[in-house]
Amino acid sequence: MIRSAAIEDAPRLAEIHITSWQAAYAELLPAEFLDGLSAERATRTEQWQDWLSTDSPKRSVLVVVDDEDVVGFAHLGPSGDKDLKPNEVGELYAMYLDPGRYRQGWGSALMTAVFDELRASGFSDASLWVMTGNASARAFYEQAGWEADGAETDQCLGITMPAVRYRAKL
């Protein structure tokens, strides 16, 4: 089941955010940095509580739920890129799954819901940024219909790390 996130989901979203980074970026980011994320659980929970309690037009957080357990999330809204029109292009800011749930269809189901939500919000196109070296995520996005559009940056997720932008027609 996929639903909108609730404020009560904040601790689980923080947990997934941290553990997914630790799993997905193990080969891309320093171990010391990733290990240090565990100490940020309370801070990340507060961030999620703030995001979930703030009403922002066309922004949403979707969660995918197995039985009663939130196993992943997607955070989306208007594009923040200066070269894209935020009233036309929606952005997938973040999408993460519990590492124990990788490759079980949860991500694909969540991606379908992301496209549906972006369309329902009135966007005609979508964008996302992914670390250039994250081959697994890039393959997942490409399989879901995203294509690299040639835009690159050396900042991704607030870290100095090469990234490439992907786009999709909705």
Contact predicate 61/5, CB 8 Å: yes
The yes/no answer on whether domain 2-169 falls in CATH 3.30.1330.10 is no
Each domain of the chain, given as residue ranges in start order, spans 2-169
Q: Which residue has the higher pLDDT, 26 or 144?
A: 144
Of 25, 21, 16, nearest to 98 by C-alpha is: 16
Residues 15-50: tens digit of each pLDDT: 999 999 999 888 888 888 888 889 889 999 999 999
**Crossing angle (nearest 10°) for helices 41-53 and 10-24:** 120
Residues 82-128: tens digit of each pLDDT: 999 999 999 999 999 999 888 888 999 999 999 999 999 999 999 99
Query: Residue 53 burial by CB count (10 A; 0-12/13-18/19+): exposed, middle or buried?
Result: exposed
